[in-house]
Amino acid sequence: MFSYRHAFHAGNHADVLKHLTWLAILRYLGQKDTALQIVDTHAGAGQYRLDQGHARTSAESDAGILRLMTAAETAAARAQAIPHAVADYLNTVKQFNADGRVRVYPGSPWISQTLLRPQDKLKLFEVHPTDAKLLSKQVEELGKGKQIEVLRRSGFDGLKALLPPPSRRGAVLIDPSYELKTDYPAVLDCLEDALKRFPTGTYAVWYPIIARPEAHALARKLKALGTRLQRPWLQAELNVGLLPEEGTAAKVAQGQHHGGMRASGMHVINPPFTLAAQLRESLPWALAALREPVGASWSVTPSSP
Ligand SMILES: C[S@@+](CC[C@H](N)C(=O)[O-])C[C@H]1O[C@@H](n2cnc3c(N)ncnc32)[C@H](O)[C@@H]1O
C-alpha cells in the first residue's frame, strides 16, 4: 500500500501540468476577498530536493521542470514572451531557489501555501507515515498556525466533513497515486459526494494516461459525471511522447508503450472562465520544451455550454 513516494516523481511532466493548472486556478480564485478553503486530498511530503535522494535516483525532473526552466531562460535571453501561466508557475518555483538553480521543488501544498491570504485556510490530507511526518514538520516550520492543517487520514473520506466551507468558496485538488485500483472509483465517488455537498466549488483531479482500462475509463467517466450533475468542466491533457526507439505515436496516445508514464490529464470541475484560454496558450509552449520526438500532443477540452 505505501510503496508510492512522490519524491521519485517530483517536478516531472505530470507535476508541470498539474501545478501550472492548480496555480492558475488559485490565482483566479484569489481575486475575490472572500475567504477561500483550499483542500489537498493527497498532499504528499510538501517540498522535495531535486538534487539528492529519491528525486535524483529517478531524475524525472530533468525532463520536466528543469527542461521547462531552461526553455524559459532561452526565451528570456532572446527577448521572447512566455505565456503568463507558465511564467507564474516558474516564478513560484524560483521563490524556493534563491540562486536561480532549481534544487527544491514545491509540491502542491507548497504552491497552495504561497498564495494563502490571512483569511484563507489550507487542509492537507496525507496517509503515508513518512510523508505525513515530513509534511507536518515542514508545515510547522512555516509558522502559519491553524491556517494550515495536516490531517493524517484518507482524503477521500475526510473531504466530506470539510464541505461546504463556511465562506462557500473553495478549491479541492484530488491527486491520488493510483497505486491501488480502488483509487479510480474512489475519485468518482468522492467527487460526486463533494459536488452534492458543495456544487459551486472548484475541483481539480489529476489522472494518469497509462495502459490500464481503469485509467482510460476515468477520463471518460469524469466528463460524464460533470455533465450528469450539470457542472461545467474542462479536461487538459499533456503527452510528452517517446524517443524513436521506444514506440509509435499510436502507442503513446494509448499509454501502451514500455517505460514510464508519458501522459496525464487534469480534469477541472467549475473551472475559472479564464482557464481554457490560459492552458491553450501554455500547454503548446510547455510541450515544445518537454516533448520527445514521437507522438507528443496536448489538448484542452471544455464542456459544451
Ligand atoms: C501523487 S502524490 C501527491 C502529490 C502532491 N499532491 C503534489 O502534487 O505535490 C499522492 C499522495 O497521496 C498519498 N495517499 C495515498 N492514498 C491516500 C489517501 N487515501 N488519502 C490521503 N493521501 C493518500 C500518497 O502517500 C502520496 O503521498
Any atom of ligand 1 within 6 Å of the Cβ of 131: yes
Number of the ligand 1 atom closest to the C-alpha atom of 107:
9
CATH number of residue 120's parent domain: 3.40.50.150
Encode pLDDT of 67-112 as tens digits.
999 999 999 999 999 999 999 999 999 999 988 789 999 999 999 9
Q: Is residue 1 part of a domain?
A: no
pLDDT at 55 over 90: no
Q: Is the pLDDT of residue 260 over 90?
A: no
206 in contact with ligand 1, CB cutoff 6 A: no
Q: What digits encode the pLDDT tens for the residues 108-136?
A: 999 999 999 999 999 999 999 999 999 99
Catalytic member of 40, 120, 131, 175 = 175
Name the band, by pLDDT with cuts 50, 70 and 90, for residue 1: low
Nearest ligand 1 atom to alpha carbon 106: 9
Contact 235, 222 (CB under 8 A): yes
pLDDT at 145 over 70: yes
Residue 201 has pLDDT above 70, yes or no: yes
Q: Could you tell me the distance, in angstroms and rounded to a whole number, from the CA of residue 66 to the centre of ligand 1?
A: 23
Give the model's pLDDT for residue 5.
87
Annotation marks residue 175 as catalytic: yes
> Which residue segment(s) compose the domain that 115 sits in?
6-302
- Kindly report which listed range (159-163, 254-258, 276-280) carries the lowest average pLDDT score: 254-258
CA distances from 156 to 40, 176, 270 (A): 10, 9, 19
Higher model confidence: residue 2 or residue 224? 224
**What is the structure's pLDDT at 246?**
79
The alpha-helical segments, DSSP class H, found in 3-62 are: 13-29, 53-58
Residue 75 lies in a domain: yes
Q: Is 121 among the domain residues? A: yes
Q: Which amino acid is at 263?
A: A
* Ligand 1 pocket member 175 (CB < 6 A): yes
Residue carrying C-alpha cell 513560484: 92
Question: Into how many domains does the chain fold?
Answer: 1
Give which of 272, 188, 175, 264 is closest to 228, Cα–Cα.
Answer: 188
At 258, the pLDDT band (50, 70, 90 cuts) reads low
Q: Determine the angle formed by the axes of helices 275-290 and 13-29, rounding to 10 degrees.
A: 160
Beta-strand pair 233-239/104-106: unpaired
Residue 75: other Cβ atoms inside 10 A = 17
Confidence of residue 305 (pLDDT cuts 50, 70, 90): confident
For position 118, what pLDDT does the model report?
A: 97
Residue 253: CB within 6 Å of ligand 1?
no
Share the mean pLDDT of the chain. Answer: 94
